[in-house]
A and B are shown apart, each in its own frame.
Chain A
């Protein structure tokens, strides 16, 4: 276990953690807004990745330029999904049923992608795909840096929206206590819809970032749903800053553990953290009253 390898893994872990933070942020938002476990989130991530790949294949332009199209599209999808489908579930059994329902949506997306794009594995071939930079003594691929930068920018934007805008405050109020928010005059139904849209919009950005350096195939979402769920539980369901911190921690931990344990065993760290959190501190890092901190 040489020092350069440790440094390399640490840097890689930070970059990975940032990306995970963005990918998981939406997931925790859905839960906070509607107590819904949205299993289809990672399927939407892969959908966004496919759209980015397809855009690049069609136009030859950099896939990041597809964001102005996909982000509003996903936002609209999210609002529609919340208003038309999830709001219809009975509140008493909403959580359980939402799992099955969003699971069904994930299957439809996977099947749809498989039908349209076939199951062949795809990878974006950009001119700068194998370029790398020297950073803090580690060799870092340019595409990973871009993905991290994108994730950081998106998280910063999310933070600004949630703290500085009226909508963001209304959203946080709805997450914190729905009835009280209604009492102060917030249109919680509409806000919930937009909150969902916001979550799916982060999926659009996250999926595009993912496409830069990943091989994508329709059933890839299974590989992501576990770690992302673990992250939101460890961070505290409904708390975006909790998710971000949990993502960084677990990303770095996994990256470092890959040295002694190998890639596959290292992935178990997410699940071990999940079980440990539920056993010893079920509310997670910042849960409890659901995102009281910001």
Chain B
């Protein structure tokens, strides 16, 4: 019997819809509910793509935290288990990842992803499902203006304040040595831009003229024209609101033009392990803001550094510390409130974090009603081949070099 293509097509469509409908039901994971069951913590991180270097750092921080907690008997007597998804640095994927974690995998708790760009959409998912959202990397102004009630940033200060100490230092220099002009280049990314613009606002208010102010999309790899503008302006200092690879590329482009600023400050890139090699071992004098130093003497930090070295070798960086801090904040809340489930428990966790201070590897943290932490970032510099804290004086490991040696 001969049926037309149309009937075939319609029938096939119907069958497929039925198949999809059936596959949609029935296959559901049971949420870990009772004592003894592991506490499942869901995270989506950019393990590939534009933000992969810092993303992997945060993953290591989370993993050390999980090991430390489990070695100590777990949380509320239950072992913790991390479920990682790779969002490939994409804002689309991070949303569907957190949907999957909350809706399908029914995780008990959430940890935040990396980069403000990804934190905002992810936080919305958490907010609309009523989950506590402590995140290690959403520091820009934008994050705290969305009206989120469940979000807390696990680091000492927000992005616009990252360079606060450097601004004070520069403006306090005597007239003769103080820089007069500045060039800024930042990625069109809320975090990177916020750090650079925070510094820019303070320096402009203090009388340092802005000669160049360039913004570029995240996928930019060719910096010859931006570097040419900066070099041609002969600005005294250059400030980069960067992530990792773009920072490396910008510096190489500036080096290729033999531009020698008196001071060079970049966010994120100089704190990554691969940095010096990537720019040809010419990092001496480059500055970066940081929320963390392995040398700090906070009690949980000493243990963190030791355990991290045992698991991964070498000292932890800022991203790793931010991840660890997130874990510490969530753990403190869970232990205080005594539950780790979706639903009403999450509201109690949120209120607890709102009203309390938590001891972490970056010091004592507490938050305002929008989730902003109330501390201050440090300034690091590459001195003698190592990255060291140079500001504030109370915590410094080396003296700040100014002007910068030639690169």
Task: Verify whether A and B have any Cβ pair under 8 Å.
Answer: yes
Question: Is A214's beta carbon under 8 Å from chain B?
Answer: yes
* Residues 207 to 240 of chain B near chain A (Cβ within 8 Å): 214-217, 219-222, 224-226, 228-229, 231-232
In the bound complex, do residue A119 and residue B255 qualify as a contact, i.e. CB atoms below 8 Å apart? no
Question: Is A67's beta carbon under 8 Å from chain B?
Answer: no
Contacts of A262 in B (CB 8 A): 214-216, 225
- Contact partner of A4 among B226, B232, B249, CB < 8 A? B232
Contacts of B226 in A (CB 8 A): 263
Give complex CA distance A215, B50 in Å. 12
With A129-B252, A130-B255, A139-B257 as known contacts, state yes or no: A123 contacts B278, CB within 8 Å.
yes
Question: Is A187's beta carbon under 8 Å from chain B?
Answer: no
In the bound complex, do residue A130 and residue B245 qualify as a contact, i.e. CB atoms below 8 Å apart? no
Question: Is A255's beta carbon under 8 Å from chain B?
Answer: yes
Give complex CA distance A139, B258 in Å. 8
Question: Is B277's beta carbon under 8 Å from chain A?
Answer: yes
Give complex CA distance A8, B253 in Å. 13
In the bound complex, do residue A125 and residue B277 qualify as a contact, i.e. CB atoms below 8 Å apart? yes
Question: Is B88's beta carbon under 8 Å from chain A?
Answer: yes
A216: nearest residue on chain B (CB-CB)? B221
With A223-B219, A259-B229 as known contacts, state yes or no: A118 contacts B48, CB within 8 Å.
yes
Contacts of B216 in A (CB 8 A): 262-264
Give complex CA distance A131, B215 in Å. 26
Give chain A nearest CB distance to B143 CB in angstroms. Answer: 25
In the bound complex, do residue B252 and residue A119 qualify as a contact, i.e. CB atoms below 8 Å apart? no
In the bound complex, do residue A5 and residue B232 qualify as a contact, i.e. CB atoms below 8 Å apart? yes
In the bound complex, do residue A259 and residue B280 qualify as a contact, i.e. CB atoms below 8 Å apart? no
In the bound complex, do residue B229 and residue A5 qualify as a contact, i.e. CB atoms below 8 Å apart? yes
* Residues 251 to 304 of chain B near chain A (Cβ within 8 Å): 252, 255-258, 277-280, 282
In the bound complex, do residue A119 and residue B52 qualify as a contact, i.e. CB atoms below 8 Å apart? yes
Give complex CA distance A49, B256 in Å. 21
Question: Is A2's beta carbon under 8 Å from chain B?
Answer: yes
Contacts of B221 in A (CB 8 A): 121, 214-215, 220, 223
In the bound complex, do residue B48 and residue A258 qualify as a contact, i.e. CB atoms below 8 Å apart? no
Question: Is A141's beta carbon under 8 Å from chain B?
Answer: yes
B residues whose Cβ falls under 8 Å from a Cβ of A: 48-50, 52-53, 88, 214-217, 219-222, 224-226, 228-229, 231-232, 245, 248-249, 252, 255-258, 277-280, 282
Most B C-beta atoms less than 10 A away, residue of A125, A144, A263: A263
With A9-B225, A130-B255, A139-B257 as known contacts, state yes or no: A2 contacts B232, CB within 8 Å.
yes
25 contacts between A and B (CB under 8 A): A2-B232, A5-B232, A8-B228, A9-B225, A9-B228, A12-B225, A118-B52, A119-B48, A120-B53, A121-B52, A125-B280, A130-B279, A131-B256, A132-B257, A139-B231, A214-B222, A215-B245, A223-B219, A255-B225, A259-B225, A262-B216, A262-B225, A263-B214, A263-B216, A263-B226
Give chain B nearest CB distance to A259 CB in angstroms. Answer: 7
8 further A-B contacts with Cβ under 8 Å, apart from A121-B221, A259-B225, A264-B217, are: A5-B228, A120-B52, A120-B53, A123-B248, A123-B249, A125-B278, A259-B229, A262-B214
Question: Is A266's beta carbon under 8 Å from chain B?
Answer: yes
A9: nearest residue on chain B (CB-CB)? B228
B217: nearest residue on chain A (CB-CB)? A264
Give chain A nearest CB distance to B243 CB in angstroms. Answer: 10
Give chain A nearest CB distance to B113 CB in angstroms. Answer: 16
Interface string of A227-259 (1 = CB under 8 A from B): 000000000000000000000000000010011
Which 4 pairs show the lowest CB-CB distances between chains A and B?
A: A119-B48, A258-B225, A141-B256, A130-B255
B53: nearest residue on chain A (CB-CB)? A120
Count A-side interface residues using an 8 Å CB cutoff: 32
B257: nearest residue on chain A (CB-CB)? A139
Give complex CA distance A215, B48 in Å. 15
A266: nearest residue on chain B (CB-CB)? B225
Give complex CA distance A184, B368 in Å. 84
Give complex CA distance A2, B217 in Å. 25
Give chain B nearest CB distance to A131 CB in angstroms. Answer: 8
Contacts of B53 in A (CB 8 A): 120
A128: nearest residue on chain B (CB-CB)? B280
With A259-B229, A263-B222 as known contacts, state yes or no: A123 contacts B280, CB within 8 Å.
no
Give complex CA distance A263, B249 in Å. 14
Give chain A nearest CB distance to B56 CB in angstroms. Answer: 9
Give chain A nearest CB distance to B312 CB in angstroms. Answer: 18
B46: nearest residue on chain A (CB-CB)? A119
Contacts of B257 in A (CB 8 A): 132, 139, 141
With A214-B222, A263-B225, A266-B225 as known contacts, state yes or no: A8 contacts B232, CB within 8 Å.
yes
In the bound complex, do residue B228 and residue A12 qualify as a contact, i.e. CB atoms below 8 Å apart? yes
Contacts of A2 in B (CB 8 A): 232
Contacts of B231 in A (CB 8 A): 139
- Contact partner of A130 among B214, B219, B282, CB < 8 A? B282
Contacts of A130 in B (CB 8 A): 252, 255-256, 279-280, 282
With A130-B280, A259-B225 as known contacts, state yes or no: A121 contacts B245, CB within 8 Å.
yes
Give chain B nearest CB distance to A112 CB in angstroms. Answer: 15
Give complex CA distance A5, B258 in Å. 14
Give chain B nearest CB distance to A238 CB in angstroms. Answer: 29
Give chain A nearest CB distance to B120 CB in angstroms. Answer: 22
Most A C-beta atoms less than 10 A away, residue of B216, B224, B225, B282: B225
Contacts of B278 in A (CB 8 A): 123, 125
Give chain B nearest CB distance to A110 CB in angstroms. Answer: 13
In the bound complex, do residue B258 and residue A123 qualify as a contact, i.e. CB atoms below 8 Å apart? no
